[in-house]
Structure 1
Amino acid sequence: MDNFDIILASNSQRRKELLKFIFNKFKVIPANIDERNLERKFLSEIAKDNKSKYSELCDILSFEKCKNVATNYKSSLIISADTIVYDDMYLFGKPNNYEEAKFMLEYLSGKEHIVQTSVTIYFNNTFSTFSEKSYVSFYDLDEIQKATIKSYIKNENPYDKAGAYGIQDGASLLIKHINGDYFNIVGLPISKLNRKLLEIVS
Structure 2
Amino acid sequence: MNYIYDFIETGKKDPIENYILLSGSPRRASLLSFLNPQICKTNIDERTIEKHYMEKYKNEEFIHRVGMTCCQISRAKSNIEMENNTMYISADTMVVMDDQIYNKPRNLDKARQMFLSYFGKTHHVITSVCLKMKDYENTFYTIAEVEFVNFYEELSSVINEYLKEENIMDKAGAYGIQDLDPRFVKRISGDINTIIGLPVAEVSYRIYK
Report the TM-score when normalising by structure 1: 0.87
Could you tell me which runs of 5 or more consecutive residues in structure 1 were left unpaired when the two chains were aligned: none
Residue matched to 1:99: 109
1:35 aligns to 2:43 (yes or no) = no
State the shift of 1:38 in Å: 1.4
Among all aligned residue pairs of Structure 1 and Structure 2, give the percentage whose two residues are the same amino acid.
Answer: 34
2:76 to 44, 64, 68: 64
Say which structure is richer in helix.
1
1:153 aligns to 2:163 (yes or no) = yes
Q: Distance in 2 between matches of 1:177 and 1:190?
A: 20
Q: How does 1:49-198 map to 2 (within 5 A)?
A: 51-52=62-63, 53-66=65-78, 68=79, 71-75=80-84, 76-155=86-165, 157-198=167-208
Q: Distance in 1 between matches of 2:44 and 2:186?
A: 35
State the shift of 1:147 in Å: 2.7
Say which structure is richer in strand.
2
Could you tell me which runs of 5 or more consecutive residues in structure 2 were left unpaired when the two chains were aligned: 1-13
Residue matched to 2:27: 14
Deviations 1:134-182 (A, max 9, x none): 1101111221333322111113521111110001113544212211111
Higher relative contact order (CA 8 A, sep 6+): 2
Q: Point out the more displaced range, 122-131 or 47-56.
A: 47-56
Q: From the superposition, tell whether residues 96 and 114 of structure 1 become closer, same or farther in structure 2 (CA, over 3 Å).
A: same
Deviations 1:14-73 (A, max 9, x none): 0000001x31x221011221112212333455649952311211111111112x2xx222
Q: Distance in 2 between matches of 1:51 and 1:146?
A: 32
Deviations 1:105-125 (A, max 9, x none): 111111111111111001242
> In the alignment, is the contact (CA less than 8 A) between 1:59 and 1:131 conserved in 2?
yes
RMSD: 2.2
Q: Which amino acid aligns with 2:174?
A: A
Q: From the superposition, tell whether residues 48 and 96 of structure 1 become closer, same or farther in structure 2 (CA, over 3 Å).
A: farther
Q: Point out the more displaced range, 112-121 or 165-174.
A: 165-174
Tell me the number of residue pairs that the alignment of Structure 1 and Structure 2 aligns: 194
Q: From the superposition, tell whether residues 189 and 49 of structure 1 become closer, same or farther in structure 2 (CA, over 3 Å).
A: closer
Q: Distance in 1 between matches of 2:183 and 2:40?
A: 33
Q: Distance in 1 between matches of 2:97 and 2:163?
A: 21
